[in-house]
Amino acid sequence: SESEIDAGTEREPLFDRIPRRDFMKAGAAAGAMGSLAGCTGLLNDQDDGLAAAGDVDASVPPGEHDDYYAFLSGGHSGEIRVYGVPSMRQLMRIPVFGRESARGYGYDDRTSEMLDESGGYSWGDTHHPRVSQTDNDYDGRWAFVNDKANGRMARINLKYFETDAIVDIPNQQGTHGACCLLPDTKYVFGVGEFRVPMPNDGQDLTDPDSYTSTIAAIDPETMNVEWEVLVDGNMDNGDGSKEGRWFFATGYNSEHATTESEMSSTDTDWLKAFDVPAIEEAVENGQYEEIGGVPVVDGTRDSDLNGGDRPIVRYIDVAKSPHGVSVTPDNQYAIASGKLDPTASVIDIEQLAEVDDPNDAIVGRPSLGMGPLHTAYDGRGHAYTTLFIDSQVVKWDIEAAVEAEAQSEDPVVEKIDVHYNPGHLIAAESYTADPQGDWLISLNKLSKDRFLNVGPMKPENDQLIYIGDDEAGMQLVKDTPSYAEPHDASIVSADKIEPADIYDPEDYDEEFVDHGESDIVREDGQVHVKMYSTRNEFGFQEVTVQEGDEVTMTVTNIEQTPDILHSLAIPEHDINLKLAPQETREVTFTADEPGVYWMYCAFFCSALHLEMRSRLIVEPA
Ligand code: CUK
Ligand code: CUA
């Protein structure tokens, strides 16, 4: 569908676009809000429906829903958090790389096997949650997130808001950047950060020149690693272009060093542009080496595949240690932020395919401020870049930055202080071809003095900023404390995701156990207990097994009523299965301590919730 972007003329030109959201929803709520003193809402005396300066109210009254879902990474907590925007209420947490008892994640056989088979680690480091797209728009199917700690990629099913697949990426020690190749999420790319010997099996330990890092192309349906490309230098963040050809990755350490001072010795590093169809052709032609069970294509600068007419990886010189890279909504530019350098580099994607020297595709280098890290978009031709050192978000005009090369025009529109030291920022639907242009969240690493003191470890601060009014400028609306530590986020219109209310038994392998189907099958020291759960009982009042038996319990919540959850908690056995309506989970354990154990339901499901229990009786052998 390359042509869909090329022919994307239905979109208005960048500069003529005006904020489209007219806040009708907020207007409808205004009557109810009128009695709240000091609550001016989004409405004002003008009838253009736009907020006036200082007049932005992000409140979502009790019982009202938010306009957006935001998926924030949880960093080294290994999870994803779901916020509503603009309320910034935390709606849900989705465990990904670590066990989590309230959701029974890692406690039933299916999820604990998934965690075991992807390495068996108890934690991960999630940075970049990216939501799948079709035709450059969110399709509500999946979110993907990397594990920087152990070189993995996970998939979250957005029907159930739960992790349903994790792949341990061969040849990658730390998978940092994560993102989809658009327009239709053909691949999810994992960007390998740490350079390691390949294979990392004890050979070549000391010569850093023999270390490499790779990008991995993962099939979103099968979560299979299709191929990898090895390159020179470390890699960092990544983003895919929207017509399906290019994948961009920033990188540092072009020196191939192992210490910080050596890694900072040259003046430039690379933004790498991977030519995906050219790589696919090389794989097709067998021009790869199989390492760690996957085809690995050599994309280092001196490789044969980079020598010909169509290099598979283009190395673009950018200022030292670039960090974030993101493609503009109209797919014209990839913008890489300087981090150690006050500029961003603007790369013209169309020119990249045409020029001999990829450096000729750099069409702008706006000077933005100290410590530019990540860039988001409003769909009206503006870029918003976090300035880590200045503790600001800078809004700038993309075309003016390109023009500035010739006319020395200042592309900076305005700066707003944030509190403090922002890493990523994200605007509503910024990663799509059509950002909403109203809300932006600055994910600030430090909150310092902004909240009640909770001890030496302070929360971070996710600040909500209204960007929908170019005349009034950016307006800071809300501080939101967050637990360590969100890096990136994706903000998706609420109507693009359709989560289920109850489970569909067709979606999983476990056998549904209905009323009257409870059963205990004993065979050679193996006991299989199948039982339903409902208000206020389990299928069996008691279950008797012998010491040493291997017990499998298959439990179904047979309720049809949304929001009525049960669980199967077994004291002193480290077991808690979460059971949403129509959900079945299985757990296998060895009954090795004789005694009586009250199996109970941990979700407060009814007035007789405390009575909802059953005895596990383990008879001495
Ligand atoms: S990285 Cu953390 S602030 Cu992993 Cu996208 Cu830049
Ligand atoms: Cu079921 Cu509490």
* Ligand 2 within 6 A of CB of 609: yes
What is the number of residues in the chain?
A: 621
Identify the domain boundary among 429, 464, 496.
496
Closest ligand 2 atom to Cα of 567: 1
Specify whether 226 is located in the same domain as 343.
yes
Q: What is residue 264's predicted lDDT score, i.e. its pLDDT?
A: 82
Kindly state if the Cβ of 601 falls inside 6 Å of ligand 2: yes
pLDDT (tens digit, 9 = 90+) per residue, 404-457? Answer: 766 667 899 999 999 999 999 999 999 999 999 999 999 999 999 999 999 999
**Ligand in nearest proximity to the CA of 126:** 1
Same domain, 579 and 607: yes
55 found inside a domain: no
571-to-343, 511, 568, 577 alpha-carbon distances in Å: 58, 25, 10, 12
Please give the full DSSP string across 336-372, using - where no structure is assigned: EE-SSSSBEEEEEHHHHTT-SSGGGGEEE--B--SSE
Measure 525 CA to ligand 1 centroid, in angstroms.
Answer: 51
Residues 36 and 74: their CA atoms lie apart, in Å, by 35
| Domain CATH number, residue 570 | 2.60.40.420
Please give the pLDDT value at position 243: 96
Q: Is residue 549 part of a domain?
A: yes
Of ligand 2's listed atoms, the one at least distance from the Cα of 533 is 1
Q: Is residue 286 part of a domain?
A: yes
Task: State the closest ligand 1 atom to the C-alpha of 176, by its place in the atom list counted from 1.
Answer: 4
Residue at a domain's end among 471, 496, 521: 496
Residue 602 falls inside a structural domain = yes
Task: Say if 47 falls within a structural domain.
Answer: no
Residue identifier of the C-alpha nearest atom 4 of ligand 1: 127
Nearest atom, ligand 2, residue 605 CA: 2
| Same domain for 512 and 452 | no
User: Same domain for 483 and 511?
Assistant: no
DSSP H helices in 388-503? 398-407
Quick check: is 153 in a domain? yes
Decide the pairing of beta strands 225-231 and 294-298. parallel
> Strands 68-73 and 489-493, how do they pair?
antiparallel
Q: Is the CB of 612 under 6 A from ligand 2?
A: yes
DSSP 3-state assignment of 26?
helix
Closest ligand 2 atom to residue 565 Cα is: 1
d(CA 274, CA 278): 9
Q: What residue's CA is closest to ligand 2, atom 1? A: 566
- Looking at the fold, whether 436 and 514 belong to one and the same domain comes out as no
Q: What is the residue range of 356's domain?
A: 68-496
Dist. CA 366–CA 379, nearest whole Å: 19
Contact between residue 383 and residue 328 where contact means Cβ atoms under 8 Å apart: yes
Residue 549 shares a structural domain with residue 487: no
Domain count, the chain: 2
Asked if the structure places residue 354 within a domain, the reply is yes
Output the pLDDT for position 43. 39
Could you say which ligand is closest to the alpha carbon of residue 249? Answer: 1
Q: Name 202's Cβ contacts closer than 8 Å, sequence gap at least 6.
A: none
Which token pair is 290?
A: 């199989």
Alpha-carbon distance of 219 to 223, in angstroms, equals: 5
Tell me the two tokens of residue 222. 């099968």
User: Residue 417 Cα, ligand 1 centroid: separation in angstroms?
Assistant: 20
The pTM of this model reads: 0.91
Cβ-count burial 64-99 (b if 16+ within 10 Å, e if not): bebbbbbbbbbbbbbbbbbbbbbbbebeebbbbbbb
Pocket residue to mutate for ligand 1, from 248, 325, 462, 488, most atoms within 8 A of Cβ: 488
CA angle 425/426/429 to nearest 5° reads: 170
pLDDT lower than 50: segments of the chain: 1-53
Both 453 and 565 in one domain: the answer is no
369 and 234, same structural domain? yes
Measuring from each residue's beta carbon to the nearest atom of ligand 1, which residues come in under 6 Å?
127-128, 176, 237, 323-324, 373-374, 423-424, 487-488
The tokens for 605 are 């499901």
Does the beta carbon of 344 sit less than 6 angstroms from any atom of ligand 2? no
- Report the pLDDT value the prediction gives residue 532, as an integer from 0 to 100: 98
Per-residue pLDDT, 192: 96
Residues 477 and 532 in one domain: no
pLDDT of residue 54: 57
Query: Which ligand is nearest the CA of 386, by number?
Result: 1
Residues 299 and 185 in one domain: yes
Q: Whose CA is nearest to atom 2 of ligand 1?
A: 487
Report the distance separating Cα 591 and Cα 547, nearest Å.
Answer: 6
What is the Å distance from ligand 2's center to 278 Cα? Answer: 56
Q: Which atom of ligand 2 is nearest to the CA of 566?
A: 1
Tens of pLDDT, residue by residue over 104-159, are 999 999 999 999 999 999 999 999 999 999 999 999 999 999 999 999 999 999 99
Encode pLDDT of 375-389 as tens digits.
999 999 999 999 999
Residue 133: Cβ within 10 Å count: 25
Q: Report the distance separating Cα 292 and Cα 198, nearest Å.
A: 9
Helix (H) or strand (E) holding 33: helix 24-33
Residues 284, 325, single domain; the answer is: yes
| Domain-located, residue 60 | no
Which tokens sit at 536? 């206020």
Please choose, from the candidates 429, 487, 496, 434, the residue with its C-alpha nearest in 3D space to the C-alpha of residue 142: 496
Residue of minimum CA distance from atom 1 in ligand 1: 487
Is residue 553 within 6 Å of ligand 2 at its C-beta?
Answer: no
Domain boundary pick from 450, 478, 496: 496
Strand 246-250, strand 188-192: pairing: unpaired
CB 613 less than 6 A from any atom of ligand 2: no
* CATH number of residue 142's parent domain: 2.130.10.10
Same domain? For 579 and 484 the reply is no
Give the separation between CA 190 and CA 179, rounded to whole angstroms.
Answer: 7
- How far apart are the CA of 155 and the centre of ligand 2, in A? 30
Q: How far apart are CA 433 and CA 377, in angstroms?
A: 10
